[in-house]
Chains A and B, each alone.
Chain A
C-alpha cells in the first residue's frame, strides 16, 4: 500500500532541543527521551514564558536532560539539583523551576534535599525518572530497586526494602504527586502539565525502562519487554493512599494522581514570605 517515509526532516520539537547533540546518548529502548518529550509538550502547552523557565538536573543518565534542552538549564553536582533549584527560585521568584533528574540522584544522593524541599514546599516541579537502579554507573542497587530485584551488585536479589517515592514525598509535604510509566505517555504529559500549573512542590514520578541494566538483569532484556510489562501490569488508582503504592519486583504498578492539596509555599506571591495571603 501507500508508503510515505521522508528522511532528513526536522522534528516539531527540534526548536526546543540542542539538535547538534542529537541523537542523544541514551541506550536504545531507554525511556528517558520519551519523558523529556512529554515534558516539552506539557511545557509548551502550559503557556509558560520559556525565557522564565530554568531546568535543573543532577548527575546520572537522566541528569543529561539539562544538556539537551534549548532552555536555561543547569547541570549540577550529584544529588544537589534541588538545593541549586531552591537557590534560583529564592533569588528570582519569577522563574519557573523544573528539576529533572533520576531516582538515584534525587532520592539517594539527594534524599535529604528532597525531603526538605518538599517540607518547605518550595514552588517547583520535580520530574523524577525512576528506572530502579543506577544506570549510568553500571546498574548498581539503588534505594528504589524493588525487593528481590536483581542488579549488578545484588546478583541474588535485593534484600533491602526500597523507598516508595510518592509516599516519601507525601510524608515530607509535597502538594502534588503523580506517577506514570513511559507506557502511559499521554497521562504523563497531562500530569506534568498539572504539576507545572501547581503552586508549591509538585512531583511527577515517571517509571522508565533501563533495558541495559535493570531490564537485562530481571528477565526483560529489551526496552520493549519492559514497556510491555508496564503496559500490562499497571493499574490506575487516582487518589489512593500513597502508602499503598510500593512496587514489587515484576509486580503490579499503581499509577495515577495520588495527592493534590494546597499548602503555603515558598516563595509566596509577593516574592518572599511563605505564600500566606493574610
Chain B
C-alpha cells in the first residue's frame, strides 16, 4: 500500500482549463477534477493514487493546453526514441 511512487504528474496549474480530457482518458482512472481553482477560475485536476500510474502519457497527449505531463522520478527517458526533455524540469 505504501509503495513509493515511481512517477510524478506535473501540472502547470495556470495552463489548465479544466476540460477533464485527461480525467476521461486516463486508463488507470487516477485523475480527478479537484475543487481547487487557478487564478483564471478553472478547476484544476489532481491525482488520486500516483502509484497506479503506468506512465502511458495519455493524459499529456489528450491535454489541449500543454498543461500536464508525467515524468519518471528516476528521470529515465520514458521509452526509446520518445522526446522527453527532462533537463527542462530542473
A residues at B contact (CB < 8 Å): 1-15, 17, 22-24, 26-34, 36-38, 41, 44-45, 182-183, 185-186, 189, 222-224, 227-228, 231
Contact = CB atoms under 8 A, between A and B. Distances in A.
A41 B84 CA distance: 10
B63 to A, nearest CB: 7
Contacts of B66: 11, 13-14, 17, 22, 33, 37
A9 B49 CA distance: 20
B72 interface: no
A12 B21 contact: no
Contact of A185 (B46, B61, B65, B89): B61
A185 B85 contact: no
A12 B83 contact: yes
A164 to B, nearest CB: 26
Given A4-B9, A227-B21, A182 B67 contact: no
22 contacts: A1-B48, A2-B5, A2-B51, A4-B47, A7-B11, A8-B13, A9-B11, A11-B10, A12-B88, A14-B85, A22-B15, A23-B17, A23-B40, A23-B65, A23-B67, A33-B63, A34-B62, A36-B64, A37-B60, A38-B61, A186-B58, A186-B61
Contacts of A31: 64
A12 B15 contact: no
A34 B21 contact: yes
Interface of B: 5, 8-15, 17-21, 24-25, 40, 42, 46-51, 58, 60-67, 69, 81-86, 88-89
Nearest to B24: A224
Given A12-B84, A29-B17, A224-B24, A24 B65 contact: yes
A1 B50 contact: yes
B12 A8 contact: yes
A55 to B, nearest CB: 16
A183 B64 CA distance: 12
Contacts of B50: 1-4
Nearest to B3: A2
A176 to B, nearest CB: 22
Contacts of A32: 64
A37 to B, nearest CB: 6
A14 B87 CA distance: 12
Given A4-B50, A29-B21, 6 more contacts: A9-B10, A23-B15, A29-B64, A182-B64, A189-B61, A224-B21
